[in-house]
Every structure is written in C-alpha cells, then in structure tokens.
Structure 1
C-alpha cells in the first residue's frame, strides 16, 4: 500500500481528534482483571456499606478501582470525585470481571473537561455516585447554594441494605480551609437527614471530627467507629494520606457491627467500610 506525502499530517489529525473525543483516560483501563486476594468476598455482602473518594484527577485505572471494590463487595458504596464515565466503566468491570452486578445513580454537580474529559462543548459529568446491589428509587441531587472553590452537593436514594429499606446520602463538602462554607453545607444536609428515622450518610466531609461545622451531623447520627466522637477526636482512625479523618459513614437509627479503614494505593483517601446489624 502506498501513502501520499500528506499521510503523516492526516494521521496526526486523526490522533488529535481521538484524544479530543475520548478525553483523559487512566492507563491500563482494559478488561484484564486484577486477581483478588484470598480473603476477598465471594459475592455482595448484604449488610455492608462503604465510602471512597476516588481522587481526581489521578492516574488510576478503573480496572484497579473495580478490583478494590470487588475485594470487599459492599451492598452499597458511595463514591466522591467521580466522573460519570469512570463510574460506568467501574460498574462494567465489576460485572464482567467479578460477577458483581450493581445499579448506579449519579449526583453530578458540574461538568469539567480537565477532570472528566469529553469534548470541549460537552465535558464529562463530575460529582458523586452511589452503586447498590439492590435497585434504587427516589433519587434527589442537590447542589449546595455555596460550593466554595468548586461546586459541591449531595445526592440521596432509597434502597435496601441488610433486608430493610433505608435512605442513603452521599456528599462531598467544600475543600479544606473553607470552614464557614462547610458549616452552611452541613446545615443543608442535616436538615434533610433529620427527616428520616433510618439513614446512612456517606461522604468526604473535608473536616476532622471535632471541627465545629460537623456539629449538626453529630447531633443526628453516630459514626461507624464507636471510638470516634467530636472530642477527643484523636481516638478516630485516619482515612487520608495526610493522616486526617475526613471520610465518614454516619448512621441514624441503624447500628454498626464493625468497621474497617482499608488502605489503598489507588487514591489519597482510604476506603471506609462497615457491616451493619441485620433486620
């Protein structure tokens, strides 16, 4: 086959077009699964919930993210800093590589090409997501009136955990050193949580346990770590690479049987999981 002089220019244009259309992608994000450790769950654990800030932008494969989730196979997991396209791939990998079937609902609060790729006139959706082995209903997605340096919000769904219906919230509060903004956001979230006798609140609150802005949440619910209280906060296990506890699973009207902070090399936040008391 003979190519003309314009072939290199044409090939370059095709490559550029593909990059623009697909957007940033993590290396090694293919269908070759990572082997799970011997202690991995064999199927979805019916009463297990988990929260995980994925870290974005980070050069992490969605195959590796799926393997981390599959190791513990929670009934429900709340993800923060999540691109809708990444969540779709994670869900696909969980099913095709590990046989774990999840429903997904999104709580995107902005569209950002730098974080989530896409085309310039239609960048990828970014925010929160909930994956649940049981169907979800009554989804709401609320953007906080003031997001701080970046739009932030919460989402909520109704699903089944441990055989009982429960309202599940997932949030990501304003970045560090924006205490006043987080205080307003927590007030908005707490007012909605208070409407439910049984609720699970997942998320990255960007605040340590004794931060004043978390007071409304502590008044409504308990963290899954029984040693973790607003004071003394130094009894709480840390959940981030900088040795702070920012990630919470707050329970209202529900009791935790145990909890684990699961270190991971695929994010600057560890995974926080808990098994809940049955029906």
Structure 2
C-alpha cells in the first residue's frame, strides 16, 4: 500500500488473526514462525556482544490509518517494547505519526530520524500542526552520531524514493542502520533503485550494518541477489531459500527484508495486524565477541546530514 502523488496503490488487505486483542483496541496480532527469542534480546545500547532485536514495518499510515496518530504510534511502540527491539525501521509513515512514535520510544532511550518521500493529504486528517510529510523513519535505542539521505533514481511523477541511514553504536561497535521503501513497479525504476541501494551499502558490508524495509520485490528477483550475496537476511535459512519460508510480509509474498552484516544467528518472525496490509517483520541477531573486537575502531564513513526540519 502506498500513498503519494502519482503513486500506485496496493489493494487494502485487512488481516485479522486469532488470539487475544491488544489493549489498543483496534488490532489483533499473531506470531508466524514462532516469536523471536526475547529473553536475551537487548537494544542497541544493550549488553556487549548480546542479541539485538530488529523490527521493520510498513505502517500504511496514510491509506490504512488515514493519518491517525495516537493508536498507530502506540501499536508500533508497544510491539517494539514488548519484543525487546533496539532497531526500528518504518515505512509509509506520516511525520506526525513518527513524532509520536519517537516520543513514546524516547522514554526507553531511542532516538530517530525521518525523511519525507512525498506529501499525503491524509497526514493532516488527525494532526494539522506538522504538515503532510510522508516517508520513512529509522529509530535506534541509543545515540545517533551521523545521518545520511541518499536520493534514489525515481521516475518523474511518482513518489520520490530515498535511503535514510544513521550511524549508532551497537554492542560497542559503530553500526550503520538504513531504511528504504522502494517503488512497487519496474516502470517506476525499481530495478535502478535496487542497484543504487546495493552500491550505496556495498562498502559497508564488511562492517556492522543493518539495511531493511519494504523492497517491493520477492527474494527470487535477480536484482535482489547482490544484497543476498553481501548480507545475511533476517529470514534467510542456511539453505539460502528464504523465499520458500512461511513468513510472508505482504499477502502471500515476502517483500520486506532486514539485511545484516557482522551479525550471526538471525531468527525471524512476523506479526499480523488489521491496521496495515503488511505484517511486522521482527527478529534477533547476535553480535559476537570476535566480530565486536575486530570492529571496535570508530567511523565507517557515513556523511553527516542533519535532519530536524518539519517536512510537508
């Protein structure tokens, strides 16, 4: 589902999953593939060389949520908190929704960045104070030292696409964390965007890095193979056949990913919710003592770009 000028809209899927209702009152959740192990999960500032919880979610904040802020933000923050997540990657999010998510997670030590890809009138339905900016967000549990926005190739007249990246410290290591939401159609330069993302993160594949979001393509796409070749995907099995797994993220397909470098033992699960047409992709990965020691030198070459303006 996308919401922007000239953007192609996916059909709305309301997925209701059995189980107890969340206290939020508007969504039921279900775990697919079993919940990630959370007993030892730590945030980005957690115990050195421990497990890191990661979350990627296409919020569908415009079309599905109609710009609603409070319940949408509470859901995101609740899932992140309950699953011990230290990295949160969000797509299709109004700036007003991001501000509330950031406020809720700041109580647990998170900081975040947002970048608008377009404007959505729906973003002013519930909150008229913060404009109509609509895009992607990256939040990490800890301090952000640098941030960068890479503008991806986009066809004229459709929603602009970006890679939003930050540098933080995870398990004592400078770590690059980036989020994307790519175009839903090859006609909208999806292949070119995939190539641009891979080229941008290529030099970081030898360092601790996390790159995730809505890639709008399935694992069998040849254009995605360079990412699988350089990174380990959160839902990737030892047989390298994540597309054969039982963790779809949109309808019956997997189009959401979290790619990891210098993390081991990835495990993934999903949460289905009626608030979005996407499932929440969740998982854990471990920064080992050996790789942490090797990567203790600071600095991974991320350009510093300050972002604290009001979009839209």
The equivalent of 2:112 in structure 1 is 104
Matched residue, 1:84: 95
Higher normalized contact order (CA 8 Å, seq sep 6+, divided by chain length): 2
Other-structure match for 1:248: 257
Deviates more, 1:66-75 or 1:76-85: 66-75
Match of residue 160, structure 1, among 169, 183, 207: 169
Query: Structure 1: which 5+ residue stretches go unaligned?
Result: 1-32
Structure 1 residues 161, 48: closer, same or farther in 2, change over 3 A? farther
- How big is the shift at 1:222? 1.9
Is the Cα contact below 8 Å between 2:235 and 2:242 reproduced in 1?
Answer: no
Q: C-alpha deviations, 1:177-197, integer Å up to 9, x for none? A: 326711100111111111112
2:180 to 168, 171, 174: 171
How far the C-alpha of 1:43 sits from its partner, in A, is 9.2
TM-score by length of 2: 0.67
Is contact 1:50-1:74 (8 Å) kept? yes
Per residue, is there more helix in 1 or in 2?
1
The answer on whether the counterparts of 2:96 and 2:123 sit within 8 Å (CA) in structure 1 is no
Q: Which of 191, 195, 200 lines up with 1:187 in the alignment?
A: 195
Contact 1:112 1:123 in 2 (8 A): no
- Is 2:219 aligned against 1:227? no
Among 198, 201, 205, the alignment partner of 2:211 is 201
Provide Cα deviations, 1:46-88, integer angstroms capped at 9, x if missing partner: 3211111111312252223322222213111111111121111
Partner of 2:9: none
Residue number in structure 2 paired with 1:5: none
Do 2:95 and 2:131's aligned partners in 1 also have CA atoms closer than 8 Å?
Answer: no
Residues 88 and 147 (structure 1), Cα distance of their counterparts in 2 relative to 1, 3 Å cut: farther
Counting only pairs closer than 5 Å after superposition, residues 94-133 of structure 1 correspond to structure 2 as 94-95=105-106, 99-115=107-123, 123-133=131-141
Extract unaligned runs of 5+ from structure 2. 1-22, 30-36, 47-51, 290-312
CA contact (8 A) 1:116 1:126 kept: no
Give the CA RMSD over aligned residues: 3.1
Task: Say whether residues 1:260 and 2:265 are aligned partners.
Answer: no
Matched-pair contact (CA < 8 Å) for 1:51–1:247: yes
Q: Aligned partners of 1:84 and 1:126: how far apart in 2?
A: 6
Secondary structure at the residue paired with 1:237? coil
What is the match of residue 283 of structure 2? 274
Cα shift at 1:169 = 1.2
CA drift at 1:107: 2.3
CA distance in structure 2 between the aligned counterparts of 1:267 and 1:166, rounded to whole angstroms? 29
